[in-house]
Amino acid sequence: MLNLFTDPNLQWILVGSMLLGLSTGVIGLSPTFGNRVLIGDTLAHAALPGICIAFMLTGVKSIGYFMLGLSWPA
């Protein structure tokens, strides 16, 4: 198992993933400090029922039906 961490490919992937996680965490903190973190969450949760209902009624994964479903709960 320890030989796995000596593999250069795994080391590059591990370091890249850590840097990506660190940078996205720092970028994600900026809306949190601006008190705007819940706006995107609210919009996503408000659109979800309409998209689900559009899919259940049609049974087709179509962008057009999903866009119609977005306006349904409003």
* pTM (predicted TM-score): 0.43
Supply 48's token pair.
């979800």
5-49 tens-digit pLDDT: 788 888 888 888 998 888 888 777 776 666 666 777 777 777 788
**Where would I find the H helices in 1-74?**
8-33, 37-58, 63-70
Q: Cα–Cα distances in Å, from 12 out to 15, 19, 42, 66?
A: 5, 11, 37, 40
